[in-house]
Structure 1
Amino acid sequence: MKHTFQSALLTATVALCSISPVVQAQTESKVASAPVINEYKLGSGDVIRISVYQNLDLTLETRVTEAGLVTFPLLGTIRLGGLGVTAAEKLISDGLRNGNFVKQPQVTIVVLQVRGNQASVLGQVNRPGRFPIEVADMRLTDLLATAGGTSPIGSDRVVLSGTRNGAPYRMEVDLPTLFGPGGRDKDVVIQNGDTLWVDRQPLIFIYGEVQRPGATRLERGMTVMQALATGGGLNLRGTERGIRVHRKGADGKVQVLQPKMDDTLLEGDVVFVQESLF
């Protein structure tokens, strides 16, 4: 009985050992073939360093050409443009292995300078300029944050323009909605060559018998009373009965309105407070 049990145990152990490498190989194959999500894709102009473990003579710092090509020792000219870093590493590794140059190559690519994928931010931001797209899923809010956010006079509405599927692309985005329910879907992914434009915030103008006449930022849903409050309110000579709003119509003509205090103002409105006669 004891001999039979030992024989069965030995048989099970041998079977397990024979299966284990197969399972391990299948696991490694799945890991190797699994796509890398949101990985940066190499572009023309990028400066990269390619190194092969324990093969210092194969270390190379180079720039990806406009055609997306790189010249690598032993392999010659290879196309890396448009590939993710992992895919590019595998391409070189396979070339070295299949050419019998290196038995088990371990290739590492480091992006030293991002030049091939960039987007611009212009207008009323704190740091306008051209910025690298360092990750594949860089969003509009990420790009705006890279530019330091909107300036104090920047608008809440921005315009993103570029190219999608070979056709011109333009989208106007209301920034506050990006942080509400479902806002992630409106936070579009930035692509190479995109330009984000931040216009000046709409203004209204207050003059006449107020404490601080001048231009002021038009906030969302701003009423006549709120506008007067930003101007410090009426002075001693001002009167509510003398409040007028000058508004330019679609035909270019200016209309003079006698508003209520809770009426909403529009961009370019001029609030005038007349002097009290008594």
Structure 2
Amino acid sequence: MKFLRHFLLFLLLFVVSCSTAYNPPSFEKASKATAKDLNAYWGGNEEFNKKLVLSVGRIKIPPYRLMPGDAVKVSVFGVEELEDLTGKIDAAGKVSFPLVGSVKIGGLTLAEARKVVKKALETYVMNPKVNLEVTEYKGFRVSVLGEVNKPDVYSLTGTRTVLDVLAMAGGLTDKASKTVILTHIGPEKNTVLYLNLDKLVDNMKFFDELMLKPGDILYIPKAENIYVDGFVRRPGSFSLTQPTSVTAAITEAGGMKIDADPTQVAIYRTLKTGEKKMIKVNIDNIRNGEEKNIMLQPNDVVIVPSNGLKVFVYHFFGFGWGPSGPTARAGR
């Protein structure tokens, strides 16, 4: 019995000494190890699309402003000759009515346009009660391209926002990033905006950049990937749709297996110069606040190694090893 105890102690010390000398695999091996799962995406944008649908209609959008090509109807209460007067706003933003003549209402809200028409009529009618409404919107077209479920050119009327059109386009695909590139086509030069969709949806309020203009182009780029492999429950690729830390990536991968070694995690990164870099990470220290959590970059490869001592102890005391960790052997 004494010999057996010494023998067990020797084996434990031997395993401990071996397990502390961790040599991460080469960058090439780490990359090949995840290649089989490059098409596995977790989570996708289903939750974002749900929030997108809920947000449409809840954002307080400013009043519509009349534009050239809109058809309007004016009626003056109690004056039969001035009922149902119609006209179309010309390229200069003006429209003509009997008595009133030509008035400029392009670019105004309906409330502002009513005041302009009322003031013009006061010369002929005492305190006129004016109603003005849009009978036909000119409409405009915008293009939605990239990682949406229904990319197309959409014909719009009235006041429309980026979120409206993304909802019309069926929301984002699972591979989409949370950035929309919005291009306003100008007469002399184009204006390009990069919008954070999470910010737009979560704040639930109106932003100036939400408004769409005729000829706008919305492009949703594909999110780049990171890869998690080794002793995690769901190794594979993860679509980098938002800033992600190494601990968050491991969580997305189902968390570490029971035989994983959290102190010897490695991040493999390709720099812009083409140089390969390996970063060692101690997850325990990050959780304890002793180390800063590392934010991952596109195409980073995270490798979680095994803990040799844990594997030895479980095997020695009669446990088998299944996909999720130790399992009791038959007869034990």
Q: TM-score, normalised by structure 1?
A: 0.57
Cα deviation, 1:103-153, whole Å, max 9, x if unaligned, reads: 55322111244446787665556787565553xxx8xxx642664496365
Instruction: Please state if 1:227 is matched with 2:258.
Output: no
Rate the CA distance shift 1:111–1:261 in 2: closer, same or farther, 3 A: farther
Q: 1:92 and 2:117 equivalent?
A: yes
Q: Deviations over 1:27-79 (max 9, x none)?
A: xxxxxxxxxxx653210132322222232664134443344343434555544
More helix by share: 2
The 1:61–1:204 alpha-carbon spacing in structure 2 relative to 1, beyond 3 Å, is farther
1:41 aligns with 2:65: yes
Matched, 1:65 2:90: yes
* Distance of aligned partners of 1:186 and 1:51 in 2 relative to their CA distance in 1, 3 Å threshold: closer
2:228 is the counterpart of 1:206: yes
Aligned twin of 1:269: 300
The corresponding residue for 1:12 is none
For 2:299, give the aligned amino acid: G
Give the residue type in structure 1 aligned to 2:268.
H
2:84 counterpart SS class = strand
Q: Which residue of 1 aligns with 2:177?
A: 155
Larger strand share, 1 or 2: 1
Residue pair 1:127, 1:147 contacting (<8 A) in 2 also: no
The AA in structure 2 aligned to 1:111 is V
Residue 14 of structure 1 corresponds to none
**What secondary structure does 1:259 align onto?**
strand
Q: 1:266 to 1:57 in 2, by over 3 A?
A: same
Alignment equivalent of 1:215, drawn from 212, 234, 237? 237
Q: 2:35 aligns to what?
A: none
Kept in 2: contact 1:242–1:276 (CA 8 A): no
Partner SS, residue 105 of structure 1: coil
TM-score w.r.t. length of structure 2: 0.50
Which residue of structure 2 lines up, in the alignment, with residue 51 of structure 1? 75
Identity of aligned residues (%): 25
- Alignment correspondent of 1:3: none
Give the alignment's Cα RMSD to 1 decimal: 4.7
Residue pair 1:121, 1:144 contacting (<8 A) in 2 also? no
- Provide the C-alpha distance between the structure 2 equivalents of 1:114 and 1:198, rounded to a whole number of angstroms: 28
Aligned length: 230
Instruction: Tell whether the 8 Å contact from 2:177 to 2:220 is kept in structure 1 after alignment.
Output: yes
- Note if 1:80 corresponds to 2:105: yes
Q: Does 1:255 pair with 2:256?
A: no
Unaligned 5+ runs, structure 1? 1-37
CA shift for structure 1 position 260: 0.9
Cα 1:120–1:63 change in 2 (3 A) is farther
1:81 Cα offset (Å): 1.7
**Does the 8 Å contact 2:140/2:155 carry over to 1?**
no
CA distance in 1 between counterparts of 2:229 and 2:88 reads 59
Q: Which residue in the other structure is 2:134 paired with?
A: 111
Larger RCO, structures 1/2 (Cα 8 Å, 6+ apart): 2
1:142-181 pair list within 5 angstroms: 143-144=162-163, 147-148=166-167, 151=172, 153-162=175-184, 168-174=190-196
- Tell me by how many angstroms 1:276 deviates: 9.1
